[in-house]
Amino acid sequence: MMLDHTHDAHLRSWVKGADDHPEFPIQNLPLCSFSDASCVRRGGVAIGDYILDLQALAEAGLVDREDLPIVATAAQPKLNDFFALASAQRRQLRSVLSGLLTAGHPAKHQAERLLVPMDQATLHLPADVPDYTDFFAGIHHAMTAGRMFRPDNPLLPNYKHVPIAYHGRSSSVRASGHPVVHPVGQRAVHGGTTPDYGPSRRLDYELEIAIWISGGNQLGEPIPIDRAAEQIVGFGLLNDWSARDVQAWETQPLGPFLGKNFLTTVSPFVVTSEALAPFRCAQPARAEGDPRPLPYLLDEEDQANGALDMTIEVLLLTPAMREHGRPPVVLARSSGLDLYWTPAQMVAHHSSNGCDLRAGDLFGTGTVSGPGPEGHGSLLEMTSAGKNPVTLPSGETRTFLEDGDEVILRGWCEREGYARIGFGEARGTVLAPLSKELLA
């Protein structure tokens, strides 16, 4: 990814509050789909505490004729068509918007009318999700979880050779804020071979990074590793909610099913690959003795600049904390550098057998956990599968989530010499099960 004038830390905007905004300064410009009091859904761009209405911008006569088709494409209610554009066209939109929003632009007073206050907007899922794939690229999560089942051999032999993943359910992907109806299902009974049925007793979150895909390869046409990064439109936050007891019972022999497909929460903002150029860095070196990736997964440029230096964290707000006005508590914090595989390697592997990727496809990285307890990206790890409850500052304890709990994911990138940019939030509050008649 190339650095240009849009990344200049000294760049200033005429939008009130945008300069040095902790998440959405002019150096970020993440895309979204939103509606306001008019109930008309359209594309937008976050800037400070506002959303620039791209539909209104396309109609306002403030964009040069050659740039208008790209702005109009990004202004659509869903961003799939924009995702499908070439990376050069996506960069062009960023340049146009950065110029318009820069301090001193002569169209400031006309453009001010195109801003919608964030607190007056409803944010939607950025795009239709044709397919959703969840990877298992967080090696520290894989190691910690693996030790619970295979203490002497936590990683299966394939882990360091291939980016492991499962295909999830795209129909249940929702934007931040959608409630988490407590899932019910067949639950594993410890030490037994006969399940019971009811609400999950081991409802969990997974702290993940979302990857939005451009797609466009034909069926049977792999995407080479040296072009895979071009297929990534942007990033966000993702919570792969998991009913661990349901998952444990059903996952053999074919993998996750009802234990995971009841809901996947994503943040509503797509922080573009272009915005993240200052925060790309070398993929951490593999441990001594680890295998070298096979040639179709190995590109020297990707190894040198394909990792993302992104901090992510998970917070919890319980009903009691909410009632007493307490803030949510940070449970864990980790980094995009804790991933064993780069995003480009995930794209290359996903298409290596000829699988065709489509605009709006969503990847989850898998749980991003750090090497120590402060970085555990799930309660499964944090509580050693429920054996060691977490004590919260409120005095409450948790082994797994309870009804009324709200889980909040946050993320940001910062580096000396560049403006800090954020990813918004991915929130979800657990509600009591709806299928009470099935539990009678």
As a whole number of angstroms, the distance between CA 210 and CA 240 comes to 10
As a whole number of angstroms, the distance between CA 81 and CA 72 comes to 10
With the C-alpha atoms ordered 267, 269, 274, 278, is the resulting torsion angle positive or negative? negative
As a whole number of angstroms, the distance between CA 371 and CA 276 comes to 24
Angle at 416 between CA 413 and CA 420, to 5 degrees: 35
As a whole number of angstroms, the distance between CA 344 and CA 407 comes to 29
As a whole number of angstroms, the distance between CA 419 and CA 69 comes to 29
As a whole number of angstroms, the distance between CA 91 and CA 61 comes to 21
Any catalytic annotation for residue 141? yes
Using alpha carbons, list the distances in angstroms from residue 361 to 71, 215, 358.
Answer: 21, 7, 6
Partners of 308 in beta bridges: 280
The tokens describing 356, both together, are 């065709």
Q: Is the bond preceding residue 253 a cis peptide, omega within 30 degrees?
A: yes
Determine which helix (DSSP H) or strand (DSSP E) holds 397, and give its type and residue range: strand 397-398
- Within 331-401, residue ranges assigned H as helices are 343-351, 379-382
Taking alpha carbons only, the member of 435, 392, 403 closest to residue 185 is 435
As a whole number of angstroms, the distance between CA 28 and CA 424 comes to 11
Considering 141, 182, 349, 350, which one is annotated as catalytic?
141
Instruction: Write down the residue that tokens 């300069």 correspond to.
Output: 19
Residues identified as active-site: 141
